[in-house]
Chains A and B, each alone.
Chain A
Amino acid sequence: MNPSDFDLALDQALQLRASGLDLEACLARFPQHAQALRPLLETADLASSGLAAAMPLPTPDLAPGRARLMAAARGGRRSAPAPAWRWAAAAIVAISLVLATGAVATRALPGDLLYPVKRALEDAQLTMAPDPDARATLRAELNTRRQNEVETLGTLGREAVVAFEGRVEDSTRSALVVDGIRIEGIHSAEVGERVSVRVRVTATGVILEELIRIEPPRPTASPEPTVPPVTRRPTTSALPAATRTAQPATGTAVPTREPSATPIPAAERTTETPAAMDPTAAPARPSATLDQPTTLPRPTEPPTPTPGGRRP
Protein backbone atom coordinates (compact mmCIF):
# COMPACT_ATOMS: atom_id res chain seq x y z
CA MET A 1 0.00 0.00 0.00
CA ASN A 2 1.28 3.42 -0.94
CA PRO A 3 0.50 5.90 1.81
CA SER A 4 -1.05 9.14 0.74
CA ASP A 5 0.68 12.38 1.58
CA PHE A 6 -2.12 13.17 3.93
CA ASP A 7 -1.82 9.83 5.85
CA LEU A 8 1.87 10.49 6.25
CA ALA A 9 1.27 14.08 7.36
CA LEU A 10 -1.35 12.90 9.87
CA ASP A 11 1.03 10.39 11.42
CA GLN A 12 3.80 12.96 11.66
CA ALA A 13 1.39 15.47 13.22
CA LEU A 14 0.20 12.86 15.73
CA GLN A 15 3.81 12.17 16.69
CA LEU A 16 4.42 15.87 17.22
CA ARG A 17 1.28 16.15 19.35
CA ALA A 18 2.35 13.12 21.36
CA SER A 19 5.71 14.78 21.97
CA GLY A 20 3.88 17.78 23.43
CA LEU A 21 3.79 20.23 20.53
CA ASP A 22 0.89 22.70 20.63
CA LEU A 23 -2.01 22.01 18.24
CA GLU A 24 -1.64 25.28 16.40
CA ALA A 25 2.12 24.91 16.12
CA CYS A 26 1.61 21.43 14.85
CA LEU A 27 -0.90 22.50 12.21
CA ALA A 28 1.47 25.26 11.13
CA ARG A 29 3.95 22.56 10.12
CA PHE A 30 1.48 21.23 7.55
CA PRO A 31 -0.20 24.31 6.02
CA GLN A 32 -1.45 22.44 2.97
CA HIS A 33 -3.29 19.85 5.19
CA ALA A 34 -4.06 22.02 8.22
CA GLN A 35 -7.78 22.30 7.59
CA ALA A 36 -8.24 18.58 7.23
CA LEU A 37 -5.81 17.74 10.02
CA ARG A 38 -7.44 19.91 12.71
CA PRO A 39 -10.60 17.80 13.35
CA LEU A 40 -8.57 14.60 13.31
CA LEU A 41 -5.98 15.88 15.75
CA GLU A 42 -8.75 17.15 18.03
CA THR A 43 -10.41 13.73 17.89
CA ALA A 44 -7.09 12.13 18.68
CA ASP A 45 -6.83 14.39 21.73
CA LEU A 46 -10.31 13.33 22.83
CA ALA A 47 -9.43 9.70 22.31
CA SER A 48 -6.23 10.08 24.30
CA SER A 49 -8.12 11.87 27.07
CA GLY A 50 -10.99 9.47 26.98
CA LEU A 51 -8.94 6.30 27.02
CA ALA A 52 -5.87 7.38 28.89
CA ALA A 53 -8.00 9.34 31.34
CA ALA A 54 -8.41 6.10 33.20
CA MET A 55 -4.77 6.66 34.07
CA PRO A 56 -3.08 6.22 36.38
CA LEU A 57 -3.67 2.55 36.12
CA PRO A 58 -4.74 0.93 39.36
CA THR A 59 -2.61 -1.83 40.71
CA PRO A 60 -4.53 -4.85 39.48
CA ASP A 61 -5.08 -7.96 41.50
CA LEU A 62 -4.24 -10.54 38.89
CA ALA A 63 -3.72 -13.42 41.33
CA PRO A 64 -7.28 -14.80 41.18
CA GLY A 65 -7.14 -14.83 37.40
CA ARG A 66 -3.77 -16.53 37.51
CA ALA A 67 -5.14 -19.16 39.88
CA ARG A 68 -8.07 -19.79 37.52
CA LEU A 69 -5.68 -20.11 34.61
CA MET A 70 -3.39 -22.55 36.39
CA ALA A 71 -6.33 -24.65 37.56
CA ALA A 72 -7.58 -24.83 33.99
CA ALA A 73 -4.10 -25.71 32.77
CA ARG A 74 -3.77 -28.50 35.28
CA GLY A 75 -7.24 -29.79 34.43
CA GLY A 76 -6.46 -29.64 30.74
CA ARG A 77 -3.38 -31.74 31.20
CA ARG A 78 -5.68 -34.54 32.29
CA SER A 79 -8.54 -33.99 29.90
CA ALA A 80 -7.19 -32.21 26.84
CA PRO A 81 -8.13 -33.99 23.63
CA ALA A 82 -5.25 -36.14 22.59
CA PRO A 83 -3.58 -35.06 19.37
CA ALA A 84 -2.96 -37.60 16.64
CA TRP A 85 0.64 -38.23 17.65
CA ARG A 86 -0.53 -39.15 21.11
CA TRP A 87 -2.89 -41.77 19.71
CA ALA A 88 -0.04 -43.09 17.62
CA ALA A 89 2.17 -43.29 20.69
CA ALA A 90 -0.55 -45.13 22.58
CA ALA A 91 -0.91 -47.58 19.71
CA ILE A 92 2.85 -48.16 19.68
CA VAL A 93 2.83 -48.77 23.41
CA ALA A 94 -0.09 -51.19 23.05
CA ILE A 95 1.58 -53.07 20.21
CA SER A 96 4.86 -53.17 22.12
CA LEU A 97 2.99 -54.52 25.10
CA VAL A 98 1.42 -57.25 23.01
CA LEU A 99 4.77 -58.09 21.43
CA ALA A 100 6.49 -58.04 24.80
CA THR A 101 3.79 -60.26 26.24
CA GLY A 102 4.24 -62.58 23.30
CA ALA A 103 7.99 -62.58 23.79
CA VAL A 104 7.61 -63.35 27.46
CA ALA A 105 4.95 -65.93 26.68
CA THR A 106 7.32 -67.85 24.39
CA ARG A 107 9.39 -68.63 27.47
CA ALA A 108 6.37 -69.70 29.48
CA LEU A 109 6.08 -73.28 30.71
CA PRO A 110 2.97 -75.33 31.31
CA GLY A 111 1.34 -74.04 34.46
CA ASP A 112 2.54 -70.49 33.89
CA LEU A 113 0.01 -67.72 33.58
CA LEU A 114 1.18 -66.87 30.07
CA TYR A 115 1.36 -70.43 28.81
CA PRO A 116 -2.12 -70.28 27.25
CA VAL A 117 -0.97 -67.13 25.43
CA LYS A 118 2.03 -69.00 24.11
CA ARG A 119 -0.15 -71.82 22.84
CA ALA A 120 -2.63 -69.39 21.33
CA LEU A 121 0.19 -67.69 19.46
CA GLU A 122 1.39 -71.06 18.22
CA ASP A 123 -2.09 -71.94 17.01
CA ALA A 124 -2.24 -68.60 15.22
CA GLN A 125 1.12 -69.34 13.59
CA LEU A 126 -0.14 -72.69 12.38
CA THR A 127 -3.30 -71.12 11.04
CA MET A 128 -1.32 -68.50 9.17
CA ALA A 129 1.19 -70.92 7.69
CA PRO A 130 1.13 -70.31 3.94
CA ASP A 131 1.17 -73.94 2.80
CA PRO A 132 1.14 -77.53 4.13
CA ASP A 133 4.95 -77.79 3.98
CA ALA A 134 5.39 -74.68 6.08
CA ARG A 135 2.72 -75.95 8.44
CA ALA A 136 4.50 -79.31 8.77
CA THR A 137 7.81 -77.58 9.45
CA LEU A 138 6.21 -75.37 12.05
CA ARG A 139 4.46 -78.32 13.64
CA ALA A 140 7.82 -80.08 13.97
CA GLU A 141 9.26 -76.97 15.57
CA LEU A 142 6.43 -76.76 18.03
CA ASN A 143 6.84 -80.45 18.86
CA THR A 144 10.51 -79.83 19.64
CA ARG A 145 9.38 -76.95 21.83
CA ARG A 146 7.11 -79.34 23.78
CA GLN A 147 10.02 -81.72 24.27
CA ASN A 148 12.17 -78.88 25.52
CA GLU A 149 9.44 -77.90 27.92
CA VAL A 150 9.38 -81.43 29.32
CA GLU A 151 13.11 -81.29 29.89
CA THR A 152 12.96 -77.87 31.49
CA LEU A 153 10.09 -78.88 33.74
CA GLY A 154 12.03 -81.96 34.78
CA THR A 155 15.10 -79.90 35.55
CA LEU A 156 13.07 -77.42 37.56
CA GLY A 157 11.05 -80.12 39.28
CA ARG A 158 7.77 -78.55 38.28
CA GLU A 159 4.71 -80.70 37.90
CA ALA A 160 2.87 -80.48 34.62
CA VAL A 161 1.39 -82.56 31.85
CA VAL A 162 2.76 -82.23 28.34
CA ALA A 163 2.07 -84.05 25.10
CA PHE A 164 4.55 -84.50 22.32
CA GLU A 165 5.53 -86.78 19.50
CA GLY A 166 8.74 -88.61 18.84
CA ARG A 167 10.54 -91.73 17.78
CA VAL A 168 11.21 -94.50 20.25
CA GLU A 169 14.98 -94.77 20.60
CA ASP A 170 15.12 -97.27 23.41
CA SER A 171 12.63 -99.47 25.06
CA THR A 172 12.69 -101.54 28.20
CA ARG A 173 9.90 -103.22 30.12
CA SER A 174 9.37 -100.23 32.42
CA ALA A 175 10.57 -97.27 30.38
CA LEU A 176 11.19 -95.98 26.94
CA VAL A 177 13.21 -93.22 25.43
CA VAL A 178 11.47 -90.97 22.94
CA ASP A 179 13.69 -88.49 21.13
CA GLY A 180 16.13 -88.64 24.01
CA ILE A 181 13.53 -88.21 26.73
CA ARG A 182 13.27 -91.06 29.19
CA ILE A 183 9.68 -91.85 30.05
CA GLU A 184 8.80 -94.19 32.88
CA GLY A 185 5.89 -96.52 32.39
CA ILE A 186 4.83 -99.87 31.12
CA HIS A 187 4.33 -99.79 27.41
CA SER A 188 4.47 -101.87 24.30
CA ALA A 189 6.19 -99.50 21.93
CA GLU A 190 9.17 -100.77 20.12
CA VAL A 191 12.33 -99.08 19.05
CA GLY A 192 11.89 -97.23 15.82
CA GLU A 193 8.18 -96.69 16.21
CA ARG A 194 6.81 -93.22 16.13
CA VAL A 195 4.65 -92.43 19.14
CA SER A 196 2.60 -89.65 20.54
CA VAL A 197 2.86 -89.47 24.28
CA ARG A 198 1.35 -87.54 27.07
CA VAL A 199 3.59 -87.41 30.09
CA ARG A 200 3.39 -86.08 33.58
CA VAL A 201 6.48 -84.42 34.91
CA THR A 202 6.69 -84.85 38.64
CA ALA A 203 8.14 -82.59 41.29
CA THR A 204 11.10 -84.93 41.53
CA GLY A 205 11.80 -84.51 37.86
CA VAL A 206 10.60 -87.94 36.87
CA ILE A 207 8.72 -88.14 33.60
CA LEU A 208 5.83 -90.57 33.81
CA GLU A 209 3.89 -91.88 30.89
CA GLU A 210 0.18 -91.06 31.04
CA LEU A 211 -0.89 -91.97 27.57
CA ILE A 212 0.91 -93.37 24.60
CA ARG A 213 -0.21 -93.83 21.04
CA ILE A 214 1.76 -95.65 18.44
CA GLU A 215 1.56 -93.77 15.20
CA PRO A 216 1.29 -95.63 11.91
CA PRO A 217 4.33 -95.51 9.68
CA ARG A 218 4.37 -92.35 7.65
CA PRO A 219 3.45 -93.06 4.08
CA THR A 220 5.82 -91.79 1.50
CA ALA A 221 3.45 -91.53 -1.46
CA SER A 222 0.21 -90.40 0.10
CA PRO A 223 -0.16 -87.97 2.98
CA GLU A 224 -3.27 -89.82 4.18
CA PRO A 225 -2.64 -92.45 6.84
CA THR A 226 -3.75 -95.86 5.87
CA VAL A 227 -3.52 -97.45 9.29
CA PRO A 228 -5.30 -95.92 12.23
CA PRO A 229 -3.16 -95.18 15.24
CA VAL A 230 -3.51 -97.08 18.46
CA THR A 231 -3.91 -95.39 21.76
CA ARG A 232 -3.09 -97.16 24.96
CA ARG A 233 -3.40 -96.16 28.53
CA PRO A 234 -0.35 -96.63 30.67
CA THR A 235 -0.56 -99.57 32.89
CA THR A 236 1.26 -100.37 36.04
CA SER A 237 3.19 -103.37 37.16
CA ALA A 238 0.41 -104.08 39.62
CA LEU A 239 -1.82 -105.08 36.79
CA PRO A 240 -1.79 -108.50 35.22
CA ALA A 241 0.72 -108.70 32.48
CA ALA A 242 -1.99 -109.42 29.98
CA THR A 243 -3.61 -106.08 30.50
CA ARG A 244 -0.34 -104.31 30.11
CA THR A 245 0.30 -105.84 26.79
CA ALA A 246 -0.27 -103.62 23.85
CA GLN A 247 -3.35 -104.46 21.96
CA PRO A 248 -3.38 -104.99 18.28
CA ALA A 249 -4.30 -102.01 16.21
CA THR A 250 -7.94 -102.78 16.11
CA GLY A 251 -9.13 -99.28 16.50
CA THR A 252 -10.87 -99.97 19.81
CA ALA A 253 -9.96 -98.59 23.15
CA VAL A 254 -7.62 -100.37 25.43
CA PRO A 255 -9.12 -101.25 28.78
CA THR A 256 -7.65 -99.28 31.58
CA ARG A 257 -7.81 -99.44 35.32
CA GLU A 258 -9.98 -96.42 35.87
CA PRO A 259 -13.62 -97.27 35.49
CA SER A 260 -14.56 -93.83 34.31
CA ALA A 261 -12.22 -93.84 31.39
CA THR A 262 -13.86 -93.19 28.07
CA PRO A 263 -12.99 -95.38 25.15
CA ILE A 264 -11.61 -93.61 22.19
CA PRO A 265 -14.03 -93.69 19.30
CA ALA A 266 -12.36 -94.82 16.16
CA ALA A 267 -13.22 -91.60 14.45
CA GLU A 268 -11.25 -89.67 17.02
CA ARG A 269 -8.02 -91.45 16.44
CA THR A 270 -5.98 -89.35 14.13
CA THR A 271 -2.39 -88.75 13.42
CA GLU A 272 -2.68 -85.23 14.85
CA THR A 273 -1.67 -86.82 18.04
CA PRO A 274 0.22 -84.15 19.92
CA ALA A 275 -2.70 -81.80 19.58
CA ALA A 276 -5.23 -84.45 20.33
CA MET A 277 -3.34 -85.54 23.41
CA ASP A 278 -2.55 -82.06 24.43
CA PRO A 279 -3.58 -81.40 28.01
CA THR A 280 -4.03 -77.74 27.15
CA ALA A 281 -6.38 -78.49 24.29
CA ALA A 282 -9.81 -76.91 24.35
CA PRO A 283 -12.53 -79.10 25.85
CA ALA A 284 -14.46 -78.96 22.61
CA ARG A 285 -11.90 -81.10 20.88
CA PRO A 286 -13.08 -84.60 20.10
CA SER A 287 -10.52 -86.29 22.30
CA ALA A 288 -11.12 -84.01 25.22
CA THR A 289 -12.48 -86.74 27.40
CA LEU A 290 -9.21 -88.55 27.16
CA ASP A 291 -7.06 -85.51 27.40
CA GLN A 292 -8.07 -84.31 30.80
CA PRO A 293 -5.08 -85.23 32.88
CA THR A 294 -7.08 -84.96 36.05
CA THR A 295 -9.14 -87.97 35.09
CA LEU A 296 -6.10 -90.14 34.83
CA PRO A 297 -4.66 -91.76 37.91
CA ARG A 298 -0.98 -91.74 38.37
CA PRO A 299 0.74 -95.05 38.25
CA THR A 300 0.63 -96.46 41.71
CA GLU A 301 3.89 -98.27 41.42
CA PRO A 302 6.20 -96.43 39.11
CA PRO A 303 8.96 -98.71 38.10
CA THR A 304 12.16 -97.29 39.56
CA PRO A 305 11.91 -93.79 38.23
CA THR A 306 14.95 -92.04 37.03
CA PRO A 307 14.97 -88.24 37.42
CA GLY A 308 15.93 -86.21 34.46
CA GLY A 309 14.94 -85.74 30.90
CA ARG A 310 16.87 -86.83 27.88
CA ARG A 311 19.43 -89.46 28.36
CA PRO A 312 22.97 -88.26 28.24
Chain B
Amino acid sequence: MTRAHPMSTDEAALLRRLRANDLAAVAELHDRYAPAVFAYVYRRVGEQHLAEDLTADVFLKALEALRRGRFAHSALMAWLYRLAHNRVVDHYRKQRPQVTLPDDHPATDDVQAATQERALHRSVRGALNRLTDDQQQVIALRFGEGKTAAETARLLQKTEEAVWALQHRSLAALRRLLEGR
Protein backbone atom coordinates (compact mmCIF):
# COMPACT_ATOMS: atom_id res chain seq x y z
CA MET B 1 0.00 0.00 0.00
CA THR B 2 1.35 3.35 -0.98
CA ARG B 3 1.22 5.93 1.78
CA ALA B 4 1.71 9.61 1.54
CA HIS B 5 5.32 10.67 1.79
CA PRO B 6 6.45 12.26 5.03
CA MET B 7 7.34 15.89 5.02
CA SER B 8 10.68 16.70 3.43
CA THR B 9 13.52 18.02 5.55
CA ASP B 10 13.24 21.29 3.71
CA GLU B 11 9.54 21.60 4.46
CA ALA B 12 10.05 20.57 8.07
CA ALA B 13 12.67 23.29 8.51
CA LEU B 14 10.37 25.84 6.92
CA LEU B 15 7.53 24.76 9.18
CA ARG B 16 9.72 25.12 12.27
CA ARG B 17 10.62 28.65 11.23
CA LEU B 18 6.98 29.45 10.55
CA ARG B 19 6.00 28.27 13.99
CA ALA B 20 8.69 30.52 15.42
CA ASN B 21 7.04 33.50 13.72
CA ASP B 22 9.99 33.95 11.40
CA LEU B 23 8.96 36.67 8.95
CA ALA B 24 11.38 35.45 6.31
CA ALA B 25 9.77 32.01 6.51
CA VAL B 26 6.34 33.51 5.97
CA ALA B 27 7.62 35.27 2.86
CA GLU B 28 9.24 32.05 1.70
CA LEU B 29 6.01 30.12 2.20
CA HIS B 30 4.15 32.56 0.01
CA ASP B 31 6.81 32.81 -2.67
CA ARG B 32 7.20 29.06 -2.89
CA TYR B 33 3.57 27.94 -2.88
CA ALA B 34 1.39 30.89 -3.93
CA PRO B 35 1.69 30.25 -7.70
CA ALA B 36 0.47 26.66 -7.30
CA VAL B 37 -2.31 27.69 -4.98
CA PHE B 38 -3.33 30.42 -7.38
CA ALA B 39 -3.42 27.95 -10.30
CA TYR B 40 -5.58 25.57 -8.31
CA VAL B 41 -7.96 28.29 -7.23
CA TYR B 42 -8.06 29.89 -10.66
CA ARG B 43 -9.10 26.64 -12.28
CA ARG B 44 -11.82 26.30 -9.76
CA VAL B 45 -13.22 29.83 -10.05
CA GLY B 46 -12.07 30.93 -13.53
CA GLU B 47 -11.54 34.57 -12.61
CA GLN B 48 -8.08 35.99 -12.14
CA HIS B 49 -8.79 38.74 -9.63
CA LEU B 50 -11.06 36.52 -7.63
CA ALA B 51 -8.43 33.77 -7.67
CA GLU B 52 -5.79 36.26 -6.48
CA ASP B 53 -8.01 37.37 -3.61
CA LEU B 54 -8.86 33.83 -2.63
CA THR B 55 -5.20 32.85 -2.82
CA ALA B 56 -4.33 35.69 -0.46
CA ASP B 57 -7.07 34.49 1.88
CA VAL B 58 -5.62 30.98 1.81
CA PHE B 59 -2.24 32.22 3.04
CA LEU B 60 -3.78 34.41 5.71
CA LYS B 61 -5.73 31.40 6.89
CA ALA B 62 -2.55 29.36 6.86
CA LEU B 63 -0.76 31.95 8.98
CA GLU B 64 -3.60 32.03 11.48
CA ALA B 65 -3.67 28.25 11.70
CA LEU B 66 0.08 28.09 12.22
CA ARG B 67 -0.14 30.58 15.07
CA ARG B 68 -2.79 28.49 16.73
CA GLY B 69 -0.77 25.34 16.24
CA ARG B 70 -3.41 23.81 14.02
CA PHE B 71 -1.09 22.44 11.39
CA ALA B 72 -1.69 18.69 11.40
CA HIS B 73 -0.66 17.71 7.88
CA SER B 74 2.52 16.02 6.90
CA ALA B 75 3.09 18.19 3.84
CA LEU B 76 2.73 21.91 3.42
CA MET B 77 1.47 21.76 -0.15
CA ALA B 78 -1.20 19.20 0.71
CA TRP B 79 -2.31 21.40 3.56
CA LEU B 80 -2.40 24.47 1.35
CA TYR B 81 -4.44 22.60 -1.25
CA ARG B 82 -6.87 21.68 1.45
CA LEU B 83 -7.10 25.28 2.61
CA ALA B 84 -7.51 26.41 -1.00
CA HIS B 85 -10.25 23.88 -1.56
CA ASN B 86 -12.04 25.03 1.58
CA ARG B 87 -11.78 28.65 0.50
CA VAL B 88 -13.18 27.85 -2.94
CA VAL B 89 -16.04 25.87 -1.44
CA ASP B 90 -16.74 28.73 0.94
CA HIS B 91 -16.71 31.16 -1.97
CA TYR B 92 -19.20 29.11 -3.97
CA ARG B 93 -21.40 28.61 -0.97
CA LYS B 94 -21.77 32.36 -0.69
CA GLN B 95 -22.22 32.77 -4.46
CA ARG B 96 -25.18 30.45 -4.91
CA PRO B 97 -27.33 30.07 -6.93
CA GLN B 98 -25.45 31.44 -9.93
CA VAL B 99 -23.70 28.19 -10.89
CA THR B 100 -24.37 25.94 -13.89
CA LEU B 101 -26.59 28.41 -15.66
CA PRO B 102 -26.46 28.03 -19.44
CA ASP B 103 -25.67 31.06 -21.57
CA ASP B 104 -28.77 31.73 -23.70
CA HIS B 105 -27.54 34.78 -25.57
CA PRO B 106 -27.55 34.44 -29.38
CA ALA B 107 -24.09 35.02 -30.87
CA THR B 108 -21.88 34.62 -33.88
CA ASP B 109 -19.97 31.35 -34.42
CA ASP B 110 -16.79 32.53 -32.71
CA VAL B 111 -18.62 34.22 -29.95
CA GLN B 112 -20.95 31.25 -29.69
CA ALA B 113 -18.00 28.87 -29.38
CA ALA B 114 -16.46 30.99 -26.69
CA THR B 115 -19.78 31.22 -24.95
CA GLN B 116 -20.22 27.47 -25.09
CA GLU B 117 -16.75 27.02 -23.70
CA ARG B 118 -17.52 29.34 -20.82
CA ALA B 119 -20.76 27.46 -20.28
CA LEU B 120 -18.84 24.20 -20.18
CA HIS B 121 -16.46 25.67 -17.61
CA ARG B 122 -19.31 26.85 -15.50
CA SER B 123 -21.12 23.54 -15.83
CA VAL B 124 -18.10 21.54 -14.81
CA ARG B 125 -17.23 23.86 -11.94
CA GLY B 126 -20.84 23.96 -10.88
CA ALA B 127 -21.12 20.18 -10.89
CA LEU B 128 -17.76 19.87 -9.22
CA ASN B 129 -18.90 22.08 -6.40
CA ARG B 130 -21.70 19.68 -5.66
CA LEU B 131 -19.39 16.75 -5.09
CA THR B 132 -18.06 15.77 -1.71
CA ASP B 133 -14.86 17.45 -0.55
CA ASP B 134 -12.69 14.46 -1.37
CA GLN B 135 -14.34 14.02 -4.75
CA GLN B 136 -13.89 17.70 -5.60
CA GLN B 137 -10.26 17.59 -4.69
CA VAL B 138 -9.46 14.43 -6.58
CA ILE B 139 -11.13 15.76 -9.72
CA ALA B 140 -9.48 19.16 -9.37
CA LEU B 141 -6.04 17.68 -8.83
CA ARG B 142 -6.25 14.84 -11.36
CA PHE B 143 -7.94 16.70 -14.21
CA GLY B 144 -7.45 20.35 -13.36
CA GLU B 145 -3.86 20.26 -12.12
CA GLY B 146 -2.89 17.19 -14.18
CA LYS B 147 -1.49 15.36 -11.15
CA THR B 148 -0.96 11.61 -11.33
CA ALA B 149 -2.79 9.30 -8.95
CA ALA B 150 0.40 8.97 -6.91
CA GLU B 151 0.88 12.74 -6.66
CA THR B 152 -2.79 13.21 -5.80
CA ALA B 153 -2.48 10.57 -3.11
CA ARG B 154 0.42 12.45 -1.56
CA LEU B 155 -1.42 15.77 -1.65
CA LEU B 156 -4.60 14.31 -0.22
CA GLN B 157 -2.74 12.28 2.39
CA LYS B 158 -4.29 9.09 1.08
CA THR B 159 -3.04 5.85 -0.39
CA GLU B 160 -2.79 5.55 -4.13
CA GLU B 161 -5.34 2.75 -4.07
CA ALA B 162 -7.76 4.99 -2.22
CA VAL B 163 -7.32 7.62 -4.93
CA TRP B 164 -8.08 5.04 -7.63
CA ALA B 165 -11.36 4.17 -5.96
CA LEU B 166 -12.11 7.81 -5.20
CA GLN B 167 -11.57 8.97 -8.76
CA HIS B 168 -13.92 6.24 -9.93
CA ARG B 169 -16.70 7.41 -7.63
CA SER B 170 -15.93 11.06 -8.38
CA LEU B 171 -16.16 10.66 -12.15
CA ALA B 172 -19.39 8.68 -11.81
CA ALA B 173 -20.92 11.33 -9.57
CA LEU B 174 -19.72 14.16 -11.82
CA ARG B 175 -21.27 12.47 -14.86
CA ARG B 176 -24.59 12.15 -13.11
CA LEU B 177 -24.51 15.82 -12.21
CA LEU B 178 -23.52 16.91 -15.71
CA GLU B 179 -26.34 14.82 -17.15
CA GLY B 180 -28.69 16.61 -14.83
CA ARG B 181 -29.51 13.54 -12.81
Contacts and interface: CB of A to CB of B under 8 A. Distances in A.
Interface of A: 1-4, 6-8, 10-11, 14-15, 18, 39-40, 42-44, 46-55, 57-58, 60-62, 64-66, 68-70, 72-74, 76-77, 80-81, 83
Given A39-B172, A62-B34, 19 more contacts: A2-B161, A3-B165, A6-B168, A14-B142, A18-B146, A40-B172, A43-B174, A43-B175, A44-B171, A50-B121, A50-B124, A50-B128, A54-B43, A55-B43, A62-B55, A65-B55, A69-B63, A76-B21, A77-B23
B129 to A, nearest CB: 12
B43 A14 contact: no
B23 A15 contact: no
Nearest to B23: A73
Given A70-B26, A73-B26, A65 B144 contact: no
B27 A66 contact: yes
Nearest to B26: A73
Given A40-B175, A60-B35, A60-B55, A51 B120 contact: no
Contact of A69 (B1, B26, B52, B162): B26
30 contacts: A1-B1, A1-B162, A4-B165, A7-B165, A10-B164, A11-B167, A14-B142, A40-B171, A40-B172, A43-B171, A47-B124, A50-B124, A51-B124, A52-B143, A52-B144, A54-B43, A54-B46, A57-B42, A58-B48, A60-B38, A60-B55, A62-B38, A62-B55, A72-B63, A76-B63, A77-B23, A80-B21, A80-B67, A81-B68, A83-B69
A4 B63 CA distance: 41
